[in-house]
């Protein structure tokens, strides 16, 4: 009998429907072992992860779910490499009973119950060579690579809601080499904008996220280098490495920004033109408020056409508290850095050439990173109730229109000679240079800011080259101290110096002023009060001026230049940590008292803008209020120093050299810091003993070399001269 058309159609429909059902099957892992079972072909019965991947590879579009009996975390440890993922599949760890995705906008409260671990650091957990793959809700650690997108054109792969390189609590790193490794693959997403999509990628011995080759990949919403709450560091050696074009790191949409903090190195880009970095927190905690520094190169680029931030809503990054300049353009051009909040980074906010602040050159004819674009020079700021008016001058390429971006910074600098960065983006204005390369500007449309706020600016040319942040005219001074009688020759380095400029030091005119060129002035110091730290002011004939705060220290009467502590004392004073004991004296041989120590340590730790909270009356022998009470109580509150017993602080007692070691190291590293165990470095500091670990770590860090003869002299009081050495070296004061 011949089959009729309608019957054939019905059979065909049933066949197609059955095929679709087969391709969309769910295979459930119910065994944490690593054996091979019939499930690999049937998708039913006893099923390990190895079985499930084998089955899913033969049934494209499947979902791998989990239902392993028992509560708590189930750990799967493959005895050999799992099958590569060669077909579209969703691997969903959140299907395991007891698991749940993150629901927090700040932090990560995900409960992950499936852990894939391989302690040998040799294999790859998931090797993906297919498109349309999703991996979510898993803890993966101990592998050479947790997830690798490799060969076969893996695209439209989503890695979301996982903990990579850490334990299931997200609070402890587990030895892992790489988190996510993409080699030559395009159009994949790591993370997402929903809290449930957030990956925690931390503790990797190499790279958290490594994208090499390919294009169009997205990295958004992740925590990279922190613990799950985003409050502490679990460092990756390198957080995100990009050697691929048109990558999106973060974004302007809600939830798109990554937290990239606590790493040894941050975001490193090469051959990454067209990449955008927007909406991220880099160097802060998850709330964006507290320091969680990347120690080197928070954003580092050596190529062309990168965009960092933007002037649109949500585009700016927060780049703060890092131990290197915030954004480093080592080479390349057309790199645009606009609309970010950049503050409290070491040395500079933006560094073109990675060589410190770059002076402007007349006509801006020099070349290098971002063509070493000149920055604007701000002359005056008028603080109004409704707006802020800024005047100044940009000298750059002739007959060219530039975008100027303006930023406000707190009125007080952390340290006297720190360079300006750009904490709060205020707005932008275009300016056009004339035939001589000059563009005077007056911008009165900026929002009101607190009176005294320091205003900075950048300039971006039509090709997208953004300058460093504007700076004062004088950058530094050579011969920063000398006799109070005057006569010390000085050289002032800076920018935009004009013939006829004048120099004052401590309000007194310097003599023999000579403008060598656009970046150098020579002069001779006037007579100044002994022991004083004096501002240096350069004033140009066109009215532009700049101040180098506490630039020159007139020698103390008891600390001549031949004194062994001379350079440390002058650095301590020029950083406003102390002003001496009065009468032109420093008190170099006097004992350091415990109450003085409180001020020294807190000023060095927090900067000269810092004011401790009001006292409450913690110690019986420290009256509240009194001169040192606020400082002493805050030192106690921060866990740096306790009392001396019986509820007292003993403020007038000298600080012994052994006691000083934990005070310094806790100030430097934090109250929870524990030094390595002692080995017996100093004969007069028994190992083990109460202070031995601390004393030896102080020596290991190069803060002290002992008191001579191989000894440390632990019970000897620290003099004010010695304290100058300790504080300058501990905090790296310049």
- For the chain, the average pLDDT equals 94
Q: What distance in Å separates the CA atoms of residue 685 and residue 693, rounded to the nearest whole number?
A: 10
DSSP per residue over 187-225, as a string? S-EEE-SSGGG--EE--BSSEEEEEEEEE--EEES-EES
pLDDT by residue (tens digit) across 327-359? 999 999 999 999 999 999 999 999 999 999 999
**Which helix (H) or strand (E) element contains residue 631?**
helix 629-637
φ/ψ (deg, to 5) at 626: -160, 170
pLDDT by residue (tens digit) across 363-381? 999 999 999 999 999 999 9
Q: Which of 576, 586, 637, 654 is nearest to 610 (CA)?
A: 576
The average pLDDT across 117-133 equals 91
Find which of 6-15, 60-69, 540-549, 598-607 is predicted with most confidence, using mean pLDDT. 60-69
Tokens of 18: 């059955």
Decide: residue 184, CB within 10 A, 0-12 exposed, 13-18 middle, 19+ buried: middle
DSSP per residue over 303-365, as a string? SS--EEE-SSTTTPPEEES-SS-SEEEEE-S--EEES-EEES-SS-SEEESSSSPPPP-TT--
8 A C-beta contact, residue 656 and residue 684 = no
**Which helix (H) or strand (E) element contains residue 667?**
helix 657-669
Angle, helices 692-700 vs 657-669, to 10°: value is: 60
Decide: residue 382, CB within 10 A, 0-12 exposed, 13-18 middle, 19+ buried: exposed
Measured CA distances, 720 to 528, 559, 684 (Å): 23, 11, 22
Is the pLDDT assigned to residue 446 strictly greater than 60? yes
Residue 8 has what pLDDT? 36
Q: 734: number of CA atoms within 13 Å, CB side?
A: 12
How many CB atoms are closer than 10 A to CB 87? Answer: 18
DSSP per residue over 4-71, as a string? PHHHHHHHHHHHHHHHHHHHT-EEEE---S----THHHHS-SS--HHHHHHHHHHSTTEEEEE--SSS
Q: What distance in Å separates the CA atoms of residue 363 and residue 345, rounded to the nearest whole number?
A: 29
The average pLDDT across 65-71 equals 98
Residue 607 has what pLDDT? 86
Residue 412 has what pLDDT? 87
Domains 369-460 and 474-554 fall in the same CATH topology:
yes
The average pLDDT across 242-258 equals 97
Q: What distance in Å separates the CA atoms of residue 414 and residue 474, rounded to the nearest whole number?
A: 18
Residues 6 or more apart whose CB falls under 8 angstroms from that of 275 comprise: 242, 244, 245, 246, 247, 248, 249, 269, 305, 306, 307
Q: What distance in Å separates the CA atoms of residue 297 and residue 368, rounded to the nearest whole number?
A: 19
The average pLDDT across 682-708 equals 95
The average pLDDT across 633-642 equals 95
8 A C-beta contact, residue 666 and residue 694 = no
Residue 122 has what pLDDT? 80
* pLDDT tier for residue 413 given thresholds of 50, 70 and 90: confident
Residue 335 has what pLDDT? 98
Q: What distance in Å separates the CA atoms of residue 512 and residue 521, rounded to the nearest whole number?
A: 10
Tokens of 613: 């909270």
571 phi-psi bin (left φ>0, alpha ψ -120 to 50, beta other): alpha
8 A C-beta contact, residue 29 and residue 49 = yes
φ/ψ (deg, to 5) at 10: -65, -40
**Which helix (H) or strand (E) element contains residue 605?**
helix 594-606
* pLDDT tier for residue 536 given thresholds of 50, 70 and 90: very high
Is the pLDDT assigned to residue 133 strictly greater than 60? yes
Instruction: Using a pLDDT cut of 90, give the percent of the chain over it.
Output: 92
Instruction: Using a pLDDT cut of 70, give the percent of the chain over it.
Output: 96
Q: What distance in Å separates the CA atoms of residue 327 and residue 320, rounded to the nearest whole number?
A: 10
CATH of region 369-460, choose from 3.30.450, 2.60.40, 1.10.1240, 3.30.1490: 2.60.40
Is the pLDDT assigned to residue 6 strictly greater than 60? no
Measured CA distances, 157 to 186, 217, 249, 561 (Å): 9, 10, 16, 66
Decide: residue 620, CB within 10 A, 0-12 exposed, 13-18 middle, 19+ buried: exposed
Can you name the residues that pair with 391 across neighbouring β-strands? 380, 442
Residue 24 has what pLDDT? 60
Measured CA distances, 221 to 97, 104, 279, 341 (Å): 25, 12, 10, 19
8 A C-beta contact, residue 277 and residue 306 = yes
The average pLDDT across 601-619 equals 92
* pLDDT tier for residue 415 given thresholds of 50, 70 and 90: confident
What is the topology classification, in CATH, of domain 474-554? Immunoglobulin-like (2.60.40)
The average pLDDT across 489-494 equals 98
Q: Return the SS3 of 75.
A: strand
Measured CA distances, 538 to 33, 416, 509, 511, 551 (Å): 74, 16, 10, 13, 12
Q: What distance in Å separates the CA atoms of residue 469 and residue 475, rounded to the nearest whole number?
A: 13
Q: Delimit the domains of the chain by residue range.
A: 32-324, 369-460, 474-554, 566-731
Q: What distance in Å separates the CA atoms of residue 201 and residue 260, rounded to the nearest whole number?
A: 10
Residues in the chain: 734
Residue 106 has what pLDDT? 98
8 A C-beta contact, residue 508 and residue 526 = yes
Is the pLDDT assigned to residue 706 strictly greater than 60? yes
The average pLDDT across 485-496 equals 97
Q: What distance in Å separates the CA atoms of residue 237 and residue 233, rounded to the nearest whole number?
A: 12
Residue with the two structure tokens 């002035």: 521
Instruction: For the chain, state the CA radius of gyration.
Output: 31
Q: What distance in Å separates the CA atoms of residue 180 and residue 176, rounded to the nearest whole number?
A: 11
Q: What distance in Å separates the CA atoms of residue 209 and residue 211, rounded to the nearest whole number?
A: 7
């Amino acid at each position: 009998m011949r089959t009729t058309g309608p019957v054939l159609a019905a059979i065909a429909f049933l066949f197609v429907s059955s095929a679709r059902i087969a391709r969309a099957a769910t295979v459930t892992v119910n065994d944490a072992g690593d054996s091979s079972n019939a499930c690999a072909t049937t998708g039913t019965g006893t099923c390990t992860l190895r079985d499930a991947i084998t089955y899913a590879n033969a049934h494209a579009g499947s979902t791998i779910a989990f239902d392993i009996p028992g509560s708590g975390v189930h750990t799967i440890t493959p005895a050999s490499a799992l099958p590569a993922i060669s077909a579209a599949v969703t691997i969903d760890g959140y299907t395991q009973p007891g698991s749940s995705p993150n629901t927090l906008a700040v932090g990560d409260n995900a409960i992950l119950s499936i852990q894939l671990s391989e302690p040998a650091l040799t294999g790859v957990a998931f090797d993906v060579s297919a498109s349309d793959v999703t991996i979510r809700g898993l803890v993966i650690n101990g592998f050479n690579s947790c997830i690798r997108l490799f060969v076969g054109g893996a695209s439209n792969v989503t890695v979301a809601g996982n903990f990579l390189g850490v334990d299931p609590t997200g609070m402890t790193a587990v030895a892992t080499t790489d988190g996510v490794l993409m080699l030559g693959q395009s159009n994949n997403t790591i993370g997402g904008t929903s809290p449930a999509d957030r990956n925690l990628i931390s503790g990797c011995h190499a790279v958290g996220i490594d994208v090499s080759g390919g294009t169009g990949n997205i990295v958004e919403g992740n925590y990279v280098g922190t613990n799950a709450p985003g409050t502490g560091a679990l460092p990756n050696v390198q957080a995100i490495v990009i050697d691929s074009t048109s990558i999106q790191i973060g974004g302007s949409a809600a939830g798109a920004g990554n937290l990239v903090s606590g790493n040894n190195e941050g975001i490193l880009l090469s051959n990454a033109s067209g990449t955008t970095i927007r909406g991220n927190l880099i160097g802060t905690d998850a709330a964006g408020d507290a320091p969680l520094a990347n120690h080197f190169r928070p954003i580092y680029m050596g190529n062309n056409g990168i965009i960092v931030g933007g002037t649109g809503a949500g585009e700016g990054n927060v780049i703060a508290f890092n131990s290197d300049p915030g954004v480093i353009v080592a080479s390349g051009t057309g790199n645009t850095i606009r609309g970010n909040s950049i503050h409290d980074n070491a040395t500079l906010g933006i560094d073109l050439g990675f060589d410190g602040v770059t002076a402007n050159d007349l006509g801006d004819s020099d070349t290098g990173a971002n063509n070493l674009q000149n920055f604007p020079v701000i002359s005056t700021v008028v603080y109004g109730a409704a707006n802020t008016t800024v005047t100044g001058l940009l000298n750059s390429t002739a007959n060219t229109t530039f975008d100027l971006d303006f930023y406000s910074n707190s009125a007080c600098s952390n340290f006297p000679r720190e360079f300006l960065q750009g904490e709060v983006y205020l707005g932008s204005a275009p300016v056009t240079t004339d035939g001589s390369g000059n563009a005077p500007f007056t911008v009165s449309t900026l929002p009101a800011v607190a009176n005294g706020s320091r205003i900075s600016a950048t300039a971006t040319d039509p090709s997208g080259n953004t300058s460093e942040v504007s700076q004062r005219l004088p950058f530094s001074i050579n011969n920063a101290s000398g006799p109070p009688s005057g006569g010390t020759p000085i050289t002032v380095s800076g920018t935009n110096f004009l013939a006829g400029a004048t120099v004052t030091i401590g309000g007194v005119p310097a003599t023999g002023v000579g403008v060598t060129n656009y970046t150098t002035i020579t002069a001779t110091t006037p007579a100044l009060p002994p022991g004083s730290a004096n501002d240096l002011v350069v004033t140009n004939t066109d009215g532009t001026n700049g101040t180098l705060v506490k630039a020159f220290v007139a020698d103390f009467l008891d600390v001549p230049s031949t004194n062994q502590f001379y350079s440390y004392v002058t650095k301590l004073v020029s950083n406003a940590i102390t002003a001496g004991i009065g009468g032109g004296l420093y008190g170099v041989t006097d004992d350091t008292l415990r109450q003085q120590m409180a001020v020294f340590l807190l000023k060095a730790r927090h900067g000269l803008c810092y004011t401790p909270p009001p006292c409450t009356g913690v110690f019986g022998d420290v009256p509240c209020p009194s001169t040192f009470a606020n400082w002493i109580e805050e030192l106690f509150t921060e866990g740096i120093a306790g009392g001396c017993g019986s509820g007292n602080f003993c403020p007038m007692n000298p600080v012994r050299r052994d006691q000083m070691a934990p005070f310094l190291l806790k100030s430097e590293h934090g109250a929870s810091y524990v030094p390595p165990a002692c080995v017996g470095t100093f004969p007069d500091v028994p190992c083990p003993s109460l202070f031995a670990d601390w004393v030896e770590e102080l020596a290991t860090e190069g803060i002290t070399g002992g008191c001579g003869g191989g000894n440390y002299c632990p019970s000897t009081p620290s003099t004010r001269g010695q304290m100058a050495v300790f504080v300058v070296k501990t905090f790296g004061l310049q």
